[in-house]
Structure 1
Amino acid sequence: MAAPAEGDGLSSLGTGGGGTTHNTVSGDAVVVGPLLMAQHIEGIRLPPAPPDAPPGQAPPPSRVFVNRTKELSDLGDAARALAAGPDPGVLMVVGVGGVGKTQLVAQAVRRELVQLFPQGQLYVDLEDLRQDGVVDLAAVLGGFLRALGVNNDYVPGGLAERTALFRSVTARSRLLVMVDNVQHAPEARALVPPRGLLVVTGRRVLPSLLMDGAVLIDVAPLEEAAGTELVRRWYADADEETAADVVRLCAGHPLALRAAVEWLAARPHLTLDDVVRDLTAGRYGTGDDGAREAMGAAMGASEGPGEGGVGEAVEAVLDSVVAGVSEETRHLYGLFGVLPGTTATADLLRAAGATRVDEGLGELLSSRLAVLVESADRPRRYRLHDVVRAHARLRARELPEARRRAVLRLVVDFYADAAAHADAAVLGDRFRIQPPPLRPLAELGLRKALFTGGAEALEWLDAERVNLQGAIRVAAGQGWHQEVWRLCESLWALYHSRKHLADCVESGFLGIEAAQHEARPDVEIRMRNHVARAAYELGDLDRAESQLDAATGLLELAGDPRLSGVVWESRGLIELARGRSEQAPHAVGERAEQARQLFERALAANRAVPDRHGVVVQSYNVAQALVAGERWSEALGVLDEAAEVARATGDEPMLLRIDLVRAHAFVGLGSLERAVTATVAAADRAAVLKQFAKLDQALELLAALADRAEDRPLRAACEEKLGALRRTMGLRPPAAPPA
């Protein structure tokens, strides 16, 4: 069923001046004079425009930066050459993990690139979003579009649509896009700005990008002299020979050097000689050959300076640094190695069994093992550097399997309860199969709630998206079937609102398997319908239909009639979509009639519960099918009945949708005046409810109606308001109509 939405009332459509004639029509609409209609559209309030400031997402540069003169010069020369050309450019910065690629680019941005590309910088680290080697590029583009000021209501669901919108929004912008940890050329190609520069970092050269014209910048570990200078800047009392020893033991790797010196800075009673002794003593005594090989592979390293490879050197440094922190912090570090996702909050770590979490996180941050992650939601988020994360996961392999499993169970249980609370906050009392979570929301957040209200809950879900997907995979792998489908059901609030449709399909199939293991046909129906709705929005109607075929075969085993309702509704939507692609009028009519019958079955299922909101939604769908079948008068009758129930229950969002369909029915009957009035009412409601995508639809329809009625004031008012709306929503204004 459609979820209930919150509204804040409906402003009445006034007539404006004395002596104006008007006639009451179906619903709330009134017919007023053309000039007053135009004045009313002009008076619709839009939200304030977002600040006219370009995004500045580039990572901050460090004040201590040495011996990258050649790389900076090469990067600057290439950027200037690419900026001077008419086509977008690509720079590929390659080096082993943690060698300083991101910092090199950050320095170049501050020194020169910010002037070359003044429309802003976008940034993403694909390692934070990679799941089983794959990155959801649609999610990356969705984040970019929101950072560019595009309202979420205007962000489409599919990758192709998001790519097209990204190119449209940035078509006239000299924009810099930075992407860390690119592993495959298609990941880069999808994110190239039309007139800007894409800078990607990675651990290996991608030949196909070079064939596309990308410029390669190679970043090697620091040479001994430069590394020694860096160590002495951090630790001024170090003599040159001891500093050089540290550089050799760290294989010139900046991340290892930084970790070693930060470790020393936290122990003022020790000297740099102690660091050298510790690394020398521990270098060959920790880890095994398999672990070292895995560490090198995680960094993308081959043999490097010194007696061993770069991976071995970094492993030795990290072993020493971790050995020197407190026992609680080592435990926390081990938890990071077990967690299924990429980031963690203090509340999650506590739920996973950590103690003295704040002190441990502080020590990990000061040791440069962990970093803070920017996020739109409330809790502070932490993650390990990707090289450090690889080390933590290697060390976590040493834990007993029972211990790892116990930690994962605590993590999955935390996410299952938290996601259920977030779902309830976002979608209210919609129909759910799972019972309410046993733990209250306040128990999941130690100092303050994870979120308050639907908006914050949605941001929390989005910030946790990769972690939640990881939790679903872990639960599926461990055979915790109930937690799999509970999480899948709760995440519909995220999938539907933020259009993470690929995630919905993937998790939905895991949910189907979990339901089958538990012999829960009701859950399987729900999961298959989730997959079907995501496939439907992605335009894959065949996949959607195949899932609904399987769900239909289970309906006799389902107890709640609402499960039948959701299946018939989804089938009806598919029929309408297929009808829109038909060419022959009789085929369109047949599809519309099939859709009407399916929606009637969904309506009957909702009446059987009874679910009044579901009754309104399915009546609205029946009317849509009647309009598609050109049965205008019947559609108006159904809409009037639905509007009566919606007014009685305060269902303002559905009244808005009813007005829009009513307008199309009036157009079909040839009553342009009433169509205009219904559309103005829809625009009015949409503005009050802040449903700006619906306001956009209403204004577009109204402009077309005004054009047909040769109402120039109303047409001009709609075009002006539509342009203002789209600018406010982060889009380009509509093209001027032909003269």
Structure 2
Amino acid sequence: MVRHRAVSWEAGLPCLLYVHARPGRGRWSLATQFFYENLQEFGGTYIEIAAREADGRMVSVSEMLGQALGALGVPGAEFPASDKERADKFHSLSLGHLYLMLIRDAVSAEQVRLLIPSSPSATVVVTTRTNLRELMEYDFAPVSLQELGSDDAYRLMVDRLKGTAGQIDPETLGKVVALCDGHPLLIRIVAAQVNGRPGLARRLVEAAESGDLVEVDESGRLAASFDQIYEALGGAQKRAYRLLALLPGPDFGAPAAAVALQTDARSAAKMLDVLEDANILRKTAQDGRFAFFTMVQSDAKSRIEDFDDRAAVIRRVTEWYLAELVPRDAALANRWRVGSAFEQAARPVSRTQALDWLAAEWQALVACVTAAARNEQHEVAWQLCVGLFKYLHQHGHNEALLRCMTDGLLAAEAAGIKAAAMQLHSHRGTAHLALGDLVAARADFQRSYDCAVSIGHALGEQSALEWLGKVAAREGDSVEAQRLYDASEAVIRRVGVAMPADQSSRAIALLGLQRSRDLLVRPEYATADRWVRVALQYFDPSTSELENRAKCLMVLGVVAANTASTEDPVSIFAEAAELFARDGIQRFEAEARWALGDALVAQGKDADALRAYWRAYELFAVLRADEVGEARRRVESLDPAADFGDADGDPPGTQVDDEGEGEDRSAPPEG
């Protein structure tokens, strides 16, 4: 604000600013601080004009002009009759004077227009509850008050709670702080409620999770604050306020909003912009996506009307998400899937488009599983799980995968679909396996196998045996692993032409990959080489399953690096790393960069190796994986003076997963 004032003066123009934020964010405090810290620049003259009454009534332009004249000492009896005459008198009296005029809580640009000075010595600051963009037409510069950072918000809450803060367990206290979204007034209100009553903190958290947060507000201050926000909205905006709060997941884009509101994406996008300007929604880090402030969303849910039909909104949103998921899932792998939603040919979607969409929507999709199940849309719930499996598994979202498949299994059982239970038990087993719970993984794969046998589902039987083989391999029982892989292949041979040709070929290829990976451990490089080449016949350069081709290349690279092979391990590992990078699978890319570095060192190409090790270190640090320390030592072995910046495991830009912690992919996804 000070910089803008200086620039305006240099240009011979008045300084015009408007500060917008939700009530209680500190708009007036900021404006008065701006005045008192720069008294000399304003000649010590401060004019304050109210644009809204305490009851929310908009003050007329005539009244506001009267306030301005009164501040300059003009008696009420001498106020001109018309608005134009009042404006002319104010400007003539104030011309050439240094002053700051604060217009508090403006509702419209029209209220401000006649008070805009032409004198370059004047400064006008307007505060608004919404982003009143029309003011920019009159050369006002916007000042947006953002939320407090997490550390500042925590400190403010602790300061307000005083001794009570120490009586609340840290996890609950952190959740209470998060409820306030960095909003100073909300922090003060909540702290006042909880102070001296530490047990209320847990009730607040539980109320927020159930959408009844305002019911816990004994003071009524939260309710009053949200009433002001809601009543300032128009009819269509009020409807959007209520219905958008029902969208599952942490954030959403215009397409999902359009489904909830039963409109087109363009109209929905305009509505989202309006609600963002009203400080009801906030933009997230992902372009074009919005999220409610936590307490605002709780209030919005409490205002759902009978005619809004909560169940109908959830039904159309979750059905839309399933329809959109099907073609994206199809772009990731040529795997078989249970469910009527997957039986029709999906519209073509590129792999890149699919990955981009899923990266933005996967958390909403996981939330849709729970929402659909609670809405008794059991077919939708378990089919969402089927479609989500590949992406969640591929990108290591194992905790989310576990929760998702558990909810999906309950839905499949409620629907009485044995084939769905068969596939989801297998999918849940992969999460257990990735998380290192081999007992639970084996139990799920065995249930999947038993179910497949009982209903005569050859693909399910073959897949379950393959996964049981992977469990044995993880346990170090190579003989049992190979036996189970043989049993899995025997199912394919037994069924023959009854199994779709593309699926039998893919299954044989995957078994070749699993066998070769297990054989590297023995190590039996020649046999591993033979099996991985079987897999590469299917996962050739034209495959859409980039990660499976990359996994095959990793085996081939290890064979080339440890035998007298004529193939170059450097080029093999480099291709694998690029394929993993294209799919955004950071854990596997890190391992491929590490292997590439080793291969380059073996060839005496230390400069190239250093770059490969650096990339591996960066990825392991982002993932907070156990290997970060060793990756750092590899870098230091080639560059002892390397500058690593922040501490290992927490570099700038650390990504955060759905659990709120950096992802640890020490147990990478299989197959």
TM-score range, shorter chain: 0.5 to 0.7
1:626 corresponds to: 519
1:419 corresponds to: 325
CA contact 2:593–2:613 (8 Å) conserved in 1: no
Pairing 1:66–2:29 present: yes
- 1:269-348 counterparts in 2 under 5 A? 298=213, 309=219, 312-348=220-256
Name the aligned partner's letter for residue 306 of structure 2.
L
Q: Which of 305, 324, 335 in structure 2 is aligned with 1:430? A: 335
Report the Cα distance in structure 2 between the residues aligned to 1:325 and 1:626, rounded to whole angstroms: 66
Say which one has the larger Rg.
2
Report the Cα distance in structure 2 between the residues aligned to 1:702 and 1:294, rounded to whole angstroms: 52
Name the aligned partner's letter for residue 328 of structure 1.
A
Report the Cα distance in structure 2 between the residues aligned to 1:387 and 1:177, rounded to whole angstroms: 17
Per-residue deviation, 1:407:
1.6
2:407 corresponds to: 510
2:280 corresponds to: 369
1:598 corresponds to: 484
CA contact 1:341–1:468 (8 Å) conserved in 2: yes
Per-residue deviation, 1:726:
3.1
2:311 corresponds to: 405
Per-residue deviation, 1:302:
6.5
SS in 2 for 1:554: helix
Change (3 A) 1:210 1:346: closer
Report the Cα distance in structure 1 between the residues aligned to 2:152 and 2:317, rounded to whole angstroms: 28
Name the aligned partner's letter for residue 420 of structure 1.
V
Change (3 A) 1:335 1:629: same
CA contact 2:327–2:349 (8 Å) conserved in 1: no
Report the TM-score, using the length of structure 2 for normalisation.
0.57
Report the Cα distance in structure 1 between the residues aligned to 2:363 and 2:159, rounded to whole angstroms: 21
Report the Cα distance in structure 2 between the residues aligned to 1:252 and 1:513, rounded to whole angstroms: 42
Pairing 1:725–2:630 present: no
1:389 corresponds to: 297
Change (3 A) 1:507 1:211: closer
Report the Cα distance in structure 1 between the residues aligned to 2:600 and 2:414, rounded to whole angstroms: 58
1:279 corresponds to: none
Per-residue deviation, 1:413:
1.0
| 1:427-446: CA deviation from partner (whole Å, max 9, x where unpaired) | 1433222244799999xxxx
Report the Cα distance in structure 1 between the residues aligned to 2:439 and 2:280, rounded to whole angstroms: 48
Name the aligned partner's letter for residue 639 of structure 1.
V
Report the Cα distance in structure 1 between the residues aligned to 2:212 and 2:415, rounded to whole angstroms: 39
| 1:646-669: CA deviation from partner (whole Å, max 9, x where unpaired) | 4597577655544443455577xx
Change (3 A) 1:202 1:687: farther
Report the Cα distance in structure 2 between the residues aligned to 1:62 and 1:316, rounded to whole angstroms: 15
Number of residue pairs matched?
A: 455
Per-residue deviation, 1:508:
0.6
Q: Which of 554, 567, 576 in structure 2 is aligned with 1:686? A: 576
CA contact 2:207–2:216 (8 Å) conserved in 1: no
CA contact 1:593–1:629 (8 Å) conserved in 2: no
RMSD across aligned positions (CA)? 4.9
1:479 corresponds to: 376
Per-residue deviation, 1:319:
2.8
Q: Which of 166, 179, 199 in structure 2 is aligned with 1:207? A: 166
Report the TM-score, using the length of structure 1 for normalisation.
0.52
Report the Cα distance in structure 1 between the residues aligned to 2:377 and 2:474, rounded to whole angstroms: 37
CA contact 2:157–2:188 (8 Å) conserved in 1: no
Report the Cα distance in structure 1 between the residues aligned to 2:188 and 2:537, rounded to whole angstroms: 74
CA contact 1:408–1:474 (8 Å) conserved in 2: yes
SS in 1 for 2:564: helix
Name the aligned partner's letter for residue 593 of structure 1.
V
Per-residue deviation, 1:177:
7.8
1:80 corresponds to: none
| 1:456-498: CA deviation from partner (whole Å, max 9, x where unpaired) | 4334333334432332112112221110111111112331233
Per-residue deviation, 1:639:
3.4
Per-residue deviation, 1:414:
1.5
Report the Cα distance in structure 1 between the residues aligned to 2:248 and 2:343, rounded to whole angstroms: 23
Change (3 A) 1:598 1:203: farther
SS in 1 for 2:29: coil
CA contact 1:624–1:635 (8 Å) conserved in 2: yes
Change (3 A) 1:203 1:571: farther
Per-residue deviation, 1:352:
2.3
Name the aligned partner's letter for residue 343 of structure 1.
D
| 1:719-738: CA deviation from partner (whole Å, max 9, x where unpaired) | 42433433675857534449
SS in 2 for 1:338: coil
Report the Cα distance in structure 1 between the residues aligned to 2:292 and 2:400, rounded to whole angstroms: 24
Change (3 A) 1:201 1:643: farther
CA contact 1:338–1:407 (8 Å) conserved in 2: yes
CA contact 1:528–1:547 (8 Å) conserved in 2: yes
Change (3 A) 1:405 1:180: farther
Any gaps of 5 or more consecutive residues in structure 2?
1-20, 34-147, 191-202, 622-630, 641-671
| 1:473-531: CA deviation from partner (whole Å, max 9, x where unpaired) | 12112221110111111112331233221111111111112222223222111111111
